[in-house]
Amino acid sequence: MAYVAARNETEEQLTRMWQQVLEVDQVGVEDNYFELGGDSITATQLISRINDAFAVHLSLHTFFDSPTVAEMALVIVQAQAADADSEAITRLLAEIKQESGSEV
């Protein structure tokens, strides 16, 4: 497979993480983690780093379903968007609760 470079900051961060964990010089966004020599033990370490770096809560199962940088970046963006939507809804509901019945 031809090397495809990171196209955004999320992919850049992920490729750096994968390079560190896998101890390889170059990871493309379409490279499969397991084909690069990754296993479930290092995937667990990587998921922990991803969750911390991107403020998401992904499971190891998610990693197996999205084994390329490009796929994982998409999952991260979707998780961040879902969290943002949830936070916005919570904030709006709190504001509505503060309003009197006639103001709502």
List the chain pLDDT tens, one digit each, 104 residues: 799 999 999 999 999 999 999 999 999 999 999 999 999 999 999 999 999 999 999 999 998 999 999 999 999 999 988 877 777 777 766 766 776 454 54
The CATH number, out of the four listed (3.40.50.300, 3.40.430.10, 1.10.1200.10, 3.40.50.720), of the domain defined by the range 9-98: 1.10.1200.10
Q: Which two tokens stand for residue 92?
A: 């709006």
Residues 66 and 73: their CA atoms lie apart, in Å, by: 9
Global model pTM greater than 0.75? yes
Q: How many CB atoms lie within 10 A of CB 54?
A: 19
List all residues 6 or more positions away from 13 whose beta carbon is below 8 Å from its beta carbon.
53, 54
Q: How many CB atoms lie within 10 A of CB 99?
A: 9
- The amino acid occupying position 80 is Q
